[in-house]
Structure 1
Amino acid sequence: MLGLSSRALFLTMTAVGKKLGYRDFTEVRRKVEKQYRRPSSFAPPKKLGRFCEISLDFRNGWPCYEVSSRHKSAMSHSDSHTEVLYLHGGAYIEEIGSNHWSLIEQLAREVPARVTVPIYPLAPHGTAARIVPMITTLADTLAERATGPTFFMGDSAGGGLALAIAQRLRDAEGNPPDGLVLIAPWLDITLGNPAVADIEPRDPLLAAEPLRFAGALWAGDLDPADPLVSPVNGEMAGLPPTTVFIGTRDILLAETYRFRDLATAAGVEVDFHEAAGDVHAYPLWPTAEARRARQQIIEALASTRAA
């Protein structure tokens, strides 16, 4: 059963979800046009600098942040670092936001981890054919330099991107991560699963038609079914242990089930967390259920480090 904070969040999202999320085609198209004309800020909030070291470079020609704890003693466990590559969501058309930065701060301080955050070009400038290979190269570099465990993590579109990168890195026989963390991952941009229509009336944030529009921009010249775009269609064997978080009021639930079943059948260890009645990307929201989910993520990353 949902707690009071999650019920309040659901009611709020039901009231304003058309503008806040991706339920209305006209609104989503407006988001794309607005981002094209006047790009949103991607800078981390100023308060992050009080607790974390932040560096910025422009590898690949676009910004890439590294965030780590200011408390050096926290990062000195056996002279090793936990490396996290965090890929933000936003349907490939919206910039990183405050809820992403809050999770990044928590990972940096409490795991503790060095979190790399690429500010990848958004669609239609950024497409899967261009961005996935570039971030795969970055991911390989992070895994190669790591003195401790490495994780690829993402929410929504970023979750799909994290899986596509892990598959591509495996196929290239690069340096694999020790684990994946996928938060409400968008794994099939076509949203062709028949179960989507059953879930959609209960989802206050997402609807299939506007998401297909955004997904087509990300696909560019590629077939939307291409695993680079829709990684649920890729090969699962050989992927690292994967932790998944998904709410049942989320139209991405159907393909997340499909991923779980395909990956498990291929021998991948999948730790699946399903939150009954919760909304899209629920670990990112200010609720009791979200706090528990974030603590589970931190404990999973910290335990791998300790091992």
Structure 2
Amino acid sequence: MFLPEAIIPPLLRATHANAPFLTEAGAIEEVRKLALTPTPCGPPKHLRRDVTVTVRREGPHPVYTVTPSKTTATGHVIYVHGGGWVHEISRQHWALIAQIAAEANTTVTVPIYDLLPHGNAGSAHDLVVTLFQQASEHDNDVRLAGDSAGGQIALSAALTLRDQGHTSIRTVLLSPALDLTFSNPQIPVVLPTDPWLGIDGGRYLGNLWAGDLPVEDPRVSPLNGDFARLGPMMILTGTHDVLNPDAHLLVTNARAAGVQVTVVERRNAIHVFPLLPTRPSATARSRIVEALRVGKPA
């Protein structure tokens, strides 16, 4: 069942969804609260019947694998979930991951990385790099995808993997966090229209997530990286998202570096709009599936 797109922002404002991101105090409280009571990370009990889910561990981290159950998978996607570096993977993420596996007929690996206050950009980056390297030993077509904070991790990993010789990596990024300084002068302009994210809390979480790395380091803020020799890139973004201005900078910089970039921008749409239960979001999810299907350019 689809919801009208127009009712989503009022619902988010009514539930104070932006509280962890709007102020530093809100961010501190969210980290404290979720550290005391972590959210489960496993898939919902009732996922699609046409996928199979398995789990293993890479060191201390659960790593899930979702594959189509009725066909032989072709290619491999590593999907990194978002959540502001503090929220665990959600049922909306799992639904998209299962859709990608079934409808793109591909294997999807899902790393469960450590969140704040225990995790940091360096450890999450290294986990995704390791999983990509493992997958590439068995498959010539490994792609990276992620939303929000997961988009930051995925793109940062792509830059490192490129430097290690894995050129032409294809990426699909949903409302990615790209510069954790939140210093783009257009962000305050967008802020009043965004019912979900904020600046001061986001900046606090970004600095905490940086850990021992400078927040400007491309492993933390991938917008500062060099995008040459990356493969085709798809970016999905809404104009009522404070991360939208940096998405435009990414498009400009990546194209200047010779990267083929497809932009799916929806006017008046909010953060990670493809994950929402609306008809336009369903259309966006279909675009994601097509971009991650082997043989299809991103």
Do the structures match in fold with TM over 0.5?
Answer: yes
The answer to whether 1:152 aligns with 2:144 is: yes
TM-score by length of 1: 0.91
Instruction: State the Cα distance separating 1:216 from its structure 2 match.
Output: 1.2
Partner amino acid, structure 1, of 2:44: P
Aligned twin of 1:123: 116
| Structure 2 counterparts to residues 67-106 of structure 1, below 5 A | 67-71=66-70, 74-75=71-72, 81-106=74-99
Q: Give the root-mean-square deviation of aligned CA atoms.
A: 1.9
Of residues 295, 301, 307 in structure 1, which corresponds to 2:286?
A: 295
**Residue 275 of structure 2 is aligned with which of 284, 296, 307?**
284
Match of 1:41 in 2: 40
Unmatched segments (≥5 aa) in structure 1: none
Name which of 106, 110, 121 aligns with 1:113: 106
Q: Which moved more, 1:10-19 or 1:210-219?
A: 10-19
Identical counterparts, % of pairs:
35
Distance 1:66 1:277 in 2: 34
Amino acid paired to 1:267 = G
Alpha-carbon distance in structure 2 between the residues aligned to 1:50 and 1:270: 33
Decide whether aligned partners of structure 1 residues 289 and 24 sit closer, same or farther in structure 2, where only a CA change above 3 A counts: farther
Answer with 50-59 or 23-32: which moved more. 23-32
Give the deviation of 1:206 after TM superposition: 0.5
The residue identity in structure 1 corresponding to 2:114 is P
The residue identity in structure 2 corresponding to 1:132 is H
Cα distance change on mapping 1:275 and 1:49 into 2, 3 Å: closer
Question: Does 1:171 find its partner at 2:170?
Answer: no
Q: Which has the higher helix share?
A: 1
Runs of 4+ in 1 over 4 A off after TM superposition: none
Q: How many residues align?
A: 296
- Assess, with a 3 A threshold, how the Cα gap between structure 1 residues 300 and 18 changes in structure 2: closer, same or farther: closer
Of 252-261 and 32-41, more deviation after overlay is shown by: 32-41
- The answer for the alignment partner of 1:206 in structure 2 is 197
Letter in 2 for 1:133: D
Match of 2:233 in 1: 242
**1:169-190, Cα deviation, whole Å (9 max, x unpaired):** 01121x3464100000000011
Aligned to 1:191: 182
Is the contact made by 2:184 and 2:246 (CA closer than 8 Å) also made in structure 1?
yes
Matched, 1:133 2:126: yes
Q: CA deviation at 1:93?
A: 1.1
Any residues of structure 2 matched to 1:225-236 within 5 Å, and which?
Answer: 225-236=216-227
Q: Which runs of 5+ in 2 are unaligned?
A: none
Q: The residue matched to 1:11 in structure 2 has which SS?
A: helix
Picking from 243, 248, 252, the partner of 2:243 is 252
